[in-house]
Amino acid sequence: MADGLPTRRGHRITVEPSNRHVRAVRGDQVLAESDEALVLHEEGSPDAYYIPFQDVRLDLLTPSDTRTNCPFKGDASYWSLPDAADLAWAYLDPKPEVAEIKNHVCFYEVQVF
């Protein structure tokens, strides 16, 4: 896992296995649930939980045309629900400093147990 070395411009990001159960829920639908999530700690941001693709209900989500770029993580692709645009994202080809998050999805809101 990333060792917390500074990335460009001194920005610090670390990625490590989460020891928590993580679940993404919208209304009464469980969109993702995992004991294998990663937690990304990024300087100046709240912790973000990245859930492996195999634990995400991709059948419920629709790929979005939205794309964003993070200078520290790379290009993000997004997924939506009919009533919630771009509620999940993934870095399909992340920067080497955060390579662990490849094949993982992050949601804006998760429950952590």
Whether 15 has a pLDDT exceeding 70, the answer reads yes
CA dihedral in degrees (4, 37, 47, 69; nearest 10)? 80
Among 2.170.150.40, 3.40.50.300, 3.40.718.10, 2.40.50.140, what is the CATH number of 8-112? 2.170.150.40
pTM, two decimal places: 0.90
Whether 2 has a pLDDT exceeding 60, the answer reads no
Report the share of the chain in percent with pLDDT over 90: 87
Where are the domains positioned within the chain? 8-112
In the chain, the amino acid numbered 49 is: Y
What pLDDT, in 10s, does the model give residues 44-79? 999 999 999 999 999 999 999 999 999 999 999 999
| Token output for 39 | 């937690």
- State the chain's maximal CA–CA distance in angstroms: 42
| Mean pLDDT of the chain, nearest integer | 93
